[in-house]
Chain A
Amino acid sequence: MGLTAYIVRRLIYGIILLAGVLVLNFFLIHAAPGDPAETIAGAMGGATAEMLSGIRAAYGLDKPLLTQLAIYLGHVAHGDLGMSYYFNQPVISLIAARVGPTILLVFAAQLIAITVGVVMGVLAARKPSGPLSAVITVLSTVGYAAPVFWTGIMLIILFASIIPIFPVDGMTSARFSGGFVAHVVDVLYHLALPAFTLAIIFLAQYSRLSRASMIDVLGADYVRTARAKGLSETKVVFRHALRNAVLPIITVAGIQFGNLISGALLVESVFNWPGMGRLAFDSVLRRDYPTLLGILFFAALMVVIANLLTDLSYRFADPRIRTGGR
């Protein structure tokens, strides 16, 4: 199958999947008890019965559920994700303001996890029975087992309270003033703890995976040949072995993207990172259906795109995949 045809087919699957996600989420969210009008009334300090009816009518909540679904899907088809019940602002603008920070957090965490995880895995694989390997294995297991919100809170206690060297919340300093470079430094300063927290759990997975993969590859004939040629161990490991060992990492990185986003939602709540996570959490509590549906839609979209990109990168990284369909 040609590349274009492959991409088109995957895009069609993606659109069908996204439509399914929308419909399923719509029913799941509406199955939860509670009335968004009451939440809005609560935020207003109470409301009269007329006001409650007015709120329900304004947001179409007085219509049958299937009618609401039809209206909603019609709007989505036109690129309109509706208005937030709570903020009374377009959902698309609420998400647009938050999607950047979420992507930044996710990619920073992914970068840390893959880089550090692979280095740890390679170091452990060079002497699988050595003490370094044992230490890395234990650290990986602990990192994998610890819930991400717990890790985040522990890091906050350590680096924001006991040794107060990192900020506890947000993406920038409230009193920030300065140029572009200073702004970037400020964001990176705020990004450090949340990105590392999110990276830890995936770092453990990547180090375990690269360790196993490297042990396998280091025993292969072509590595023995490379060593026999008199190449240095660093060249053998990083130029010959790692390039082959990294293929499973690419696959797992793509598969893990969904988990990374769900992990980001928790990390954002712990660190008050201004991404979609906190908005998603609060939208559940507020029964802000359009906002929640919009966030879930965007999250699904990001996973679909990430999987597509993973597949494509895999095709480029491994020539056997490119020809496999023929």
Chain B
Amino acid sequence: MKLTRRDILGSAGALLVAPNFAFEAQAAEPQMGGTMVMVSTQVPRHLNPAVQSGIATAIPGTQIFASPLRYDADWTPHPYLAESWKVADDALSVTLNLVKGAKFHDGKPITSEDVKFSIETIKAHHPFKTMFEPVSSVETPDEHTAVIHLAHPHPALLLCLSGALCPIIPKHVFGDGQDIMNHPANSNPVGSGPFKIAEFKAGQQIVLEKNPDFFIKGRPYLDKIVIRIVPDLSSIILAVEGGQADFLPFLAESQSIIRLQKSDRLGVTDKGYAAVGPINWLAFNTAKPPLDNKAVRQAIGYAIDRNFITKALLRGIAKPQRSPIIESSPFFNPKMPSYGLDLNKANAMLDQAGHKKGPDGMRFKLTVDYIPGGGEEQEGIAQYLKSQLKKAGIDIEVRASPDFPTWAKRISNYDFDLTMDEVYNWGDPVIGVHRTYLSSNIRKGVIWSNTQQYRNPKVDELLNKAAVEKDPAKRKGFYDEFQMIVGDDLPIYWVNALPYHTIYNKRLGNVPESIWGSMQSMDEVYWKKA
């Protein structure tokens, strides 16, 4: 059964049963066995995605833990730990039918009680509160059936049951009464997925070994995945080039991508990041003059050359982004204004807003912050803004932060004018988009909340409606309107989609290219026969 995007967006009333080999697109003689060495700059705190967001935990976490569903590259959900599921006609409940005979790595059976425990844990402790907030209860009529009851329709739910967002964790391990945020098993987990933890050297290396009792017979193909944590990108590139590593996900640095594209031995793909939806943007402090004036923000938008940034600064590797919703998402509205470069218009708008140029040719001074260590996407663009906005009479001071905590403290306490930032959509707008624009999410001291202090009652209304609308077309309509409004209000100037690429040894087959990419089980990755 093949679903369209529209089906996915709604999914109400769907009963889905699909074979688990749905992903096996490349059928070139998979070989059992072998070790894949992955390199990453990301340092996971621990390995339990139920209570920890982020790439660093998600990549190993999705190998250790299985989720009820998983997605392909076309936003279509497939059975995983749930062999089928049914969304009720009123969209107020979802029934999951679990695979029979599935076991945790310690041999104990995976039951509906574990699903209930996992969802309740995630709801209580995961930073993405919107994922399971509408869940009122989880019923377990038998050990292979879990019924998720909702207080209101929650169209994002199926996506929330996939990848790193819903790892099924063992109740008998994590439900022992200890604080789950600091549970020792977070660093030495008993999982449900295709690979078991063999070694976790914090900040150094993670070794995952094949789970021989994985509930999908004949999987995983690989015997072992070694994740080497290498903080220095240059060393990583040399390791991949030299064949010491086989797999490098989430590479965004354009120069390195171009360099590795020239290798005959390596494959380079930008697939596998559709759900991550990583956006690089310039945020305005909309509560602070003169940026509290929409015309000033729009004028800044007209003064920036987005194409120069993507084509010259980022060497044509990054794609322009003009919306709060990533352009690869089915919710993206292509009618969004793009604010093409128009310095005359920018100057005229600023004149009209009462900010005439002074004798030094400047109208006012602003600071621009950036995430330290963010490289060309952050400091590079901040430095460009200094010279570019001068042309509109805006004196920019690029303010460096020595480290992430300093930057986060400044931004979350509204001690900024402009800041570069990188924020992910996380699949559904409910998870990764609403948090930035809802006035109810203006929370001082909390990074990646609505730190712009943007308020628009109409936007609040549209987002709240979209969060509960079960009709896919209507929901898309709400998001279309939302995008047009924020495109006009411009609390944020969206610059580009972060050009994440995966670098891999071409001898690897079934390289993950689903919407979650390497943040989903890699049980089907294999070494091709020589």
Contacts and interface: CB of A to CB of B under 8 A. Distances in A.
Contacts of A33: 405-406, 409
B187 interface: yes
Interface of B: 35, 37, 43, 45-46, 52-54, 56, 127-129, 179, 181-182, 186-187, 201-205, 226, 228, 230-232, 234-235, 238-239, 241-242, 244-245, 403-406, 408-409, 412, 424, 435, 443, 445-449
B231 A278 contact: yes
B226 A175 contact: yes
Contact of B45 (A48, A54, A87): A87
Given A89-B187, A174-B244, 16 more contacts: A34-B406, A36-B405, A41-B408, A42-B405, A43-B52, A44-B53, A44-B127, A45-B54, A48-B443, A88-B182, A164-B242, A168-B242, A174-B35, A269-B231, A270-B232, A274-B204
**3 A-B pairs with least C-beta separation:** A34-B405, A45-B53, A46-B448
Contacts of A94: 202-203
A86 B409 contact: no
Contacts of A272: 230-232, 235
A272 B201 CA distance: 14
Interface string A10-24: 000000000000000
Contact of B231 (A36, A282, A287): A282
A41 B242 contact: no
Nearest to B236: A169
A175 B405 contact: no
Contacts of A286: 404-405
Contacts of A86: 45
A40 interface: yes
8 contacts: A35-B408, A41-B447, A43-B45, A58-B179, A86-B45, A161-B241, A168-B244, A282-B43
Given A34-B406, A272-B230, A173 B244 contact: yes
A45 B448 contact: yes
B237 to A, nearest CB: 9
B420 to A, nearest CB: 15
Interface in A122-156: 153, 156
A287 B405 contact: yes
A42 B231 contact: no
Given A45-B128, A168-B238, A174-B37, A88 B405 contact: no
Contacts of A185: none
A39 B46 contact: no
Given A44-B53, A54-B181, A279 B203 contact: yes
Interface string A42-77: 111111110110100010000000000000000000
A87 B202 contact: yes
Contacts of B46: 87-88
A223 B68 CA distance: 83
A13 B128 CA distance: 52
A160 interface: yes
A167 interface: yes
